Amino acid sequence: MAANLYVHFPFCRSRCSYCSLYSRAGSTAAERERYIESIRVELESLRVRSASTLKTLYFGGGSPALCDLKPLKGALAPLLGESTEFTVELHPLDATPDKLDELKSIGVNRISMGVQSLDDGILAHMGRGYTFHDAVRAFALVKSRFDNAGIDLIVGYPGESAALLPRHARLAKWGLRHCSVYSLQNERGLKDAIDDETTMNRISILSKFLSDIGLAGYEISNYAAPGFECRHNLAVWHGEDYVGLGAGACGREGLIRTRGTKNGYEKTTVSQEFDIKERTLFRLRTRDGLDASRFPEWRPALDRFVAEGLLALLDGCVYRLTERGTEVCDAILAELV
């Protein structure tokens, strides 16, 4: 079994205006209990398959903490070692003393809280259900129990103003260990979204601020204090295998790719060449860069991107994105593929 595990929890209070991920809003307690039982059975099966503990475990969503996770404790215990990174994505409204204590009791040691915006008007339009000051209180409560904690932010949402940036300065007092900064993917057709150039300029400013408070960029959208990089995501970007459990979860084991649906798992087998290329290309997203030594056919395109200021050539055949390059990483990868 792969040493990394992702479990998806598709339940949400309501669908946020920007979200196009698989989720179920308005679920009943009984539906969530049945889902948790199905995940418990799958975790027990993984325990039988594996003789070693996990390197990383990630509960994503959706809002995992909408579920009562305590029934998973027995199945999780044999999979967790002293060094396992166990992350749970948390909605600010779920940051209560009881829920945080529950998370700690099942072995969670890392929290990623989806703040998304620091502007009350935008939060209301998103349908998040809390204010900036609610988020401040929620994260303070998280930090009282979990030192390894960070937040997500979205840049480029309609109505966003450059005047909002000074409010980000308050994050210096939050004790952030990690911050993910995403540009709005306007797949749901929101009106008046900020243009790409303005969005990238604001991300650049925010990136500089995060660097100033000790969070270095280690991937296109992710910043961390030294030693607090998300090990689960790094495993994916560095080409490691990972199991995906639950509806909406994806997995990669050898040449097999899986995708969870409400009716089970769809499996696809890729070629060995595709597999190697995919695992190699993901590294371009990280500060470690892409080693093109196994793919000389990529060199002309990569060298052209160097000349255009989008990539930097490091030792040997290792290429790393420049700041400009991070803005067009998907286009670079598409050309290589």
The partner residues of 263 in beta bridges, in order of sequence, read none
Is pLDDT of 164 > 60?
Answer: no
Q: Which CATH class is domain 4-235?
A: alpha beta
Q: Where in the chain is the domain with CATH 1.10.10?
A: 272-337
Give the whole-angstrom CA distance, residue 55 versus residue 242. Answer: 10
CA dist., res. 265 & res. 133, Å (int): 41
**What mean pLDDT comes out for the span 22-28?**
80
DSSP H/E element including 60: strand 56-61
Tokens 């996990």 — which residue?
54
Query: Within 10 A of 66 (CB to CB), how many other CB atoms are there?
Result: 20
What is the fold of 272-337?
Arc Repressor Mutant, subunit A (1.10.10)
Q: What is the pLDDT of residue 165?
A: 64
- pTM for this model (two decimals): 0.95
329-336 vs 299-307: helix crossing angle, rounded to 10? 150
What whole-number distance in Å separates Cα of residue 284 and Cα of residue 323?
13
Q: Going by C-beta distance under 8 Å and a sequence separation of 6 or more, which residues neighbour residue 212?
A: none
Torsion angle in degrees (nearest 10) through CA of 307, 313, 318, 321: -70
Are the C-beta atoms of residues 222 and 288 closer than 8 Å to each other?
Answer: no
Q: Using CA atoms, how far apart are residues 252 and 22, in angstroms rounded to an integer?
A: 19
Q: Tokens standing for 46? A: 């993984």
Spatial CB neighbours of 28, under 8 Å, sequence gap ≥ 6: none
Q: What are the pLDDT digits (tens) for 271-326? A: 999 999 999 999 999 999 999 999 999 999 999 999 999 999 998 899 999 989 99
Cβ-Cβ contacts under 8 Å for 29 (sequence gap 6 or more) = none
Return the SS3 of 311. strand
Q: 173 and 143 in contact (C-beta within 8 Å)?
A: no
Lowest mean pLDDT among 40-44, 187-191, 246-250, 308-312: 187-191
Q: CATH 3.80.30.20 residue ranges in the chain? A: 4-235
Q: Which two tokens stand for residue 60?
A: 């994503």
- Quote the CA–CA distance of 24 and 19 in Å, as a whole number: 12
> In one letter, which amino acid is 235?
A
Give the three-state DSSP class for 271.
Answer: coil
Q: Tens digits of per-residue pLDDT, 112-163? A: 999 999 999 999 999 999 999 999 999 999 999 999 999 999 999 998 876 6
Q: In the predicted model, is pLDDT for residue 17 greater than 60?
A: yes
DSSP lists the bridge partners of residue 211 as: none
- Is 263 within 8 Å of 31 (Cβ atoms)? no
Note the pLDDT tens digit of each residue in 57-81: 999 999 999 999 999 999 999 999 9
